[in-house]
Amino acid sequence: MKRIAIFASGNGSNAENIITHFRKNNRDAEVALVVCNKPEAGVIERAGRLGTDTIVMTRADINDPVKMLAVMDEYKIDLIALAGFLLMVPAFLIERYKGKILNIHPSLLPKYGGKGMYGKHIHEAVVAAKEKETGITIHLVSEECDGGDIIFQTSVPVEPNDTAADVEAKIHALEKEHYPRIIGEIISVTK
Ligand code: GRF
């Protein structure tokens, strides 16, 4: 059974959905660990409720190769999935897990990507620009913010009266539908 680490900083709805997906629908892999850099993040409560191990690491710990790789080794992690993780992934981890670190971004990259473009800021910008569609992007993580190779994109219409909260709800539905499945596909072909 392959082992996944989820890195998250916030609410954790994607993390919860990925954990339950692999328990119910895909027994070839499991979420072995949630790494979180914020002690107050909702993801910790969600993972705890599901009985998934969680570790809180500071930014300094995450950027420390000795500490970080010790955690990855202890949990025998095969693949890392970022889900609302707001820190940059350190270069040594990208090197160690080449092609095995995924991120989901709630826009159609390269639109609405880069520094400062996260969470509701994205959906507010999409509404302000009167975009007719938005969507999600699942991509490999590189050293450039939101810059790695794109694996999957899908879009959803933005209606003229949609608020940023309406757009966010549509995006969450797309994330829920596609992210666990794509993680499963990538992990099935990783060595
Ligand atoms: C999601 O929209 C994800 O695409 C983005 O951050 C948000 C995290 O939401 N990277 P949650 O913490 O999984 O609820």
For ligand 1, pick from 7, 11, 14, 139 the residue to mutate: most ligand atoms within 8 Å of CB.
14
Known catalytic residues are 105
- 12 within ligand 1 shell (Cβ under 6 A): yes
- Please give the share of the chain, as a percent, with pLDDT higher than 70: 100
Residue 69's contacts (CB-CB under 8 Å, 6 or more residues apart) are 92, 93, 96
Q: 26-30, 118-122, 157-161: which has the highest mean pLDDT?
A: 157-161
Angle, helix 120-128 to helix 164-189, in steps of 10 degrees: 120
> Residue 68 pLDDT > 90, yes or no?
yes
Helical ranges in the chain per DSSP H? 13-24, 42-49, 59-62, 65-74, 91-96, 120-128, 164-189
Helix (H, G, I), strand (E, B) or coil at 95: helix
Task: Name which residue sits closest to atom 9 of ligand 1, judged by CA.
Answer: 84
What's the whole-number average pLDDT of the chain? 96
pTM: 0.96
Looking at the CA of residue 12, tell me the nearest atom of ligand 1: 12
